[in-house]
Amino acid sequence: MSHARVAILLSGGGSNMLALLDSMQGDHPARPCLVLSNDPDAGGLIRAAARGVPTAAVDHRPFAGDRAAFEAELMKPLVAARPDIICLAGFMRVLTADFVSHWQGRMLNIHPSLLPLYRGLHTHARALEAGDREHGCSVHEVTAELDDGPVLGQARVAVLPGDDAATLAARVLEQEHALYPAVLRRFAAGERQPILLG
């Protein structure tokens, strides 16, 4: 069978990318075709290359605020890789509606909160501040509205006494590594029924 081609976009160490790479084996319907970063020094690029996955980087800094120009460059290696699915995995750049519309329906993101709670940044600190008893992560389809697309999966963790943003983030990240591969496998098989872990 021909596998679905998956491009992964990241900005940092790529622990989610690694979990996705490790899952795309055997009878999994997808295989990685590219790991792409907005930071040429992203640790995830080295880890992907070490696993034989093609990598590319488009530094966003020379484009200083001209999102469209940055995205026009980002599109080049991405289109060349012919992805069927794009996974944003710790990708820290906001994408324009034009870019999103080009890939809409084929682009996923993982966000470290139980959406629709806490769109945007500093999700763990905000959950602690609110006194939430539980927290977690969500995988959703990417739409023009930030962190707002249809949720395809969630994983929940308990907020424990004595938690700070770092300990809570670590517990959530562990669940991200289980959730994202589970959702990608289903998405690549054409399934859209949301899943709930934890």
Q: Mark the segment that binds ligand GRF (CB under 6 A) among 15-23, 54-62, 139-147, 188-196.
A: 15-23
Residue 153 as a binder of ligand GRF (CB under 6 A): the answer is: no
**Among 112, 149, 153, 181, contact with ligand GRF (rule: CB under 6 A):** 112
**Among 70, 176, 179, 183, contact with ligand GRF (rule: CB under 6 A):** 176
- H helices present in the chain, as ranges: 15-23, 43-50, 67-80, 97-103, 123-129, 165-188
Read off φ and ψ for residue 29, nearest 5 degrees: -75, 0
End-to-end CA gap in the chain: 33
How far is Cα of residue 182 from the mean position of the Cα atoms in its chain?
Answer: 13
Looking at the Cβ atoms of 71 and 176, the one nearer to ligand GRF is: 176
**Amino acid identity of 38?**
N
111 assigned to active site? yes
Looking at the Cβ atoms of 69 and 160, the one nearer to ligand GRF is: 160
- Binding footprint of ligand GRF on the chain (CB under 6 A): 10, 12-17, 89-90, 110, 112, 173, 176
